[in-house]
Amino acid sequence: MKLRKLYYPKWFAWFMLVILIPMLLVMEYEAFFGKNAYPLMGAVVGFMFAAIIVMMFLVSYRKVPLMYIER
């Protein structure tokens, strides 16, 4: 049995960064400066987005594998 590690390609992190950072900025702006009753939820969602961005960079730069495949 041999384990094979799968990773994202390196361009994937930068491509998703272009999509996720504007989404994060809009959501945080709306959470803290909009008419939201629960601004803490915006902070929680922002923390989750930041964690997703960090994990995508780690997987793209081959620090953490996306998944293992047994052969």
Q: CA of 31: how far to CAs of 1, 40, 42, 60, 64, in Å?
A: 49, 8, 5, 30, 32
Take residue 71 and report the two structure tokens written for it.
């052969």
**What pLDDT is recorded for position 28?**
86
Alpha-carbon distance of 55 to 44, in angstroms, equals: 17
In order along its 71 residues, the chain shows pLDDT tens digits of 888 988 888 888 888 889 988 988 888 888 888 887 777 888 888 899 889 889 988 999 988 898 899 98
**What pLDDT is recorded for position 30?**
85
Take residue 22 and report the two structure tokens written for it.
């504007």
**What pLDDT is recorded for position 32?**
82
**What pLDDT is recorded for position 51?**
93
